[in-house]
Amino acid sequence: MARNITHDLRVLNAEQAGDDLVIDLYGGPSNACGSVRFTFTSNDELEARLALVRSWCSDQRSVALVTDDAQIVLIDERRLDDQQAERPERSEA
């Protein structure tokens, strides 16, 4: 399964379209510009995700778009960096 990761993207806009969350993205090393669409069966989950993605937009958060043959995922890159910084380093014995 081929996995593609595009780092350093920004959210330009996020809006609800029926059961879908449509997110406009731009940036990255290749100056990408496009949209991704996620469909939710729960309106509560859709509204929560919409609020989260809009916060990324207003904060100008860097996100990564991870795609493979089966799924598309957006990841808050700052949160990943924070989580990695909080983990204690392993000591080799």
Give the CATH number for residue 45. 2.40.50
In-domain check, residue 63: yes
Residue 93 lies in a domain: no
Sorted by sequence, the CB contacts under 8 Å of residue 67 that are 6+ apart come out as: 3, 4, 5, 73
In the prediction, which pLDDT does 75 show? 94
Specify if 18 maps to a domain.
yes
CA distance 74 to 51: 14
Share of the chain above pLDDT 70, in %: 84
Closest Cα partner for 32 from 69, 70, 68, 5? 5
If you ran DSSP here, which 8-state letter would residue 69 be given? S
In total, how many domains does the chain have? 1
What 3-state DSSP class applies to 73?
Answer: strand
28 in a structural domain? yes
23 within some domain: yes
**Of 71, 68, 65, which is closest to residue 34 (Cα–Cα)?**
65
Q: Is the pLDDT of residue 16 over 60?
A: yes
Structural domain of 78: 4-86
Is 0.75 surpassed by the pTM of this model? yes
> How sure is the predictor about 2, in pLDDT bands with cuts at 50, 70 and 90?
confident
